[in-house]
């Protein structure tokens, strides 16, 4: 990924590798599913660590006040997070996979060449964001990192608690999401 830059009109843009677009689309789709599954009246669900970090207790020492706060805010917050994640997906363009990264995707990929190998579009993809889209991206990248951090059991010092092969891949994704977000912050903060 090339760094985000802001032009004179305030539009922020960067070039993404096709595989990065696929990756971001994939993790954001998963976040959308998670958010859509949240029942804000289900106390047990809200207590799950990943959900709890997305909707923290506003009154940590007063469960009653915290529940009251949730009653008034949780649905709206989830709605906002869903809208932001949807905006991120929309900015990535159509949902044709650029590259089939795993065999499950390959079966649905129509772009198979004579060699039997998937046809890749090797060209970087321009991602162009206006101001509202930038806000949606910043928030969604945060939500993604919060959920992934829970998956990796990242401790208070920022160290992942899991170090198996899968988790190392997920940790790379976590760091990459942070890089994208930081690049976006620098582009609009400059």
Footprint of another protein (CB under 8 A): 53-60, 69, 73, 76-77, 80-81, 138-139, 142-143, 145-146, 149, 154-158, 178, 181-182, 185-186, 188-189
Of 123, 109, 139, 148, nearest in space to 27 by CA: 148
Structure tokens at 33: 């599913």
- Residue 54 or 125 with smaller CB distance to another protein: 54
- Residue 21 or 149 with smaller CB distance to another protein: 149
Q: How far apart are CA 82 and CA 155, in angstroms?
A: 27
CB of 31 to another protein, least distance (A): 12
CB of 134 to another protein, least distance (A): 11
- Residue 41 or 109 with smaller CB distance to another protein: 41
Q: Where are the beta strands (DSSP E) in the chain?
A: 5-6, 12-16, 125-129
Q: How many Cα atoms sit within 13 Å of 152 on the Cβ side?
A: 24
CB of 7 to another protein, least distance (A): 19
CB of 55 to another protein, least distance (A): 6
Spatial CB neighbours of 82, under 8 Å, sequence gap ≥ 6: 32, 35, 36
- Residue 17 or 150 with smaller CB distance to another protein: 150
CB of 130 to another protein, least distance (A): 16
- Residue 100 or 147 with smaller CB distance to another protein: 147
- Greatest CA span in the chain, whole angstroms? 65
Q: How far apart are CA 137 and CA 156, in angstroms?
A: 25
């Amino acid at each position: 990924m090339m760094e985000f830059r802001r032009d004179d009109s305030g539009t922020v843009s960067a070039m993404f590798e096709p595989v990065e677009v696929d990756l971001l689309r994939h993790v954001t789709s998963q976040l959308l599913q998670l958010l859509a599954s949240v029942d804000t009246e289900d106390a047990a669900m809200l207590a799950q660590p990943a959900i709890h970090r997305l909707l923290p207790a506003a009154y940590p020492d007063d469960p009653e006040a915290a529940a009251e706060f949730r009653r008034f805010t949780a649905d709206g917050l989830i709605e906002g997070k869903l809208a932001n994640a949807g905006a991120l997906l929309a900015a990535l363009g159509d949902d044709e996979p650029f590259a089939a990264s795993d065999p499950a995707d390959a079966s649905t990929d129509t772009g198979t060449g004579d060699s039997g190998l998937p046809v890749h579009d090797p060209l970087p993809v321009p991602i162009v964001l206006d101001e509202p889209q930038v806000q949606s991206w910043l928030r969604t990248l945060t939500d993604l990192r919060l959920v992934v951090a829970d998956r990796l059991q990242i401790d208070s010092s920022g160290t992942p608690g899991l170090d198996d092969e899968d988790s190392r891949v997920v940790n790379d994704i976590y760091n990459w999401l942070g890089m994208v977000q930081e690049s976006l912050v620098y582009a609009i903060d400059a």
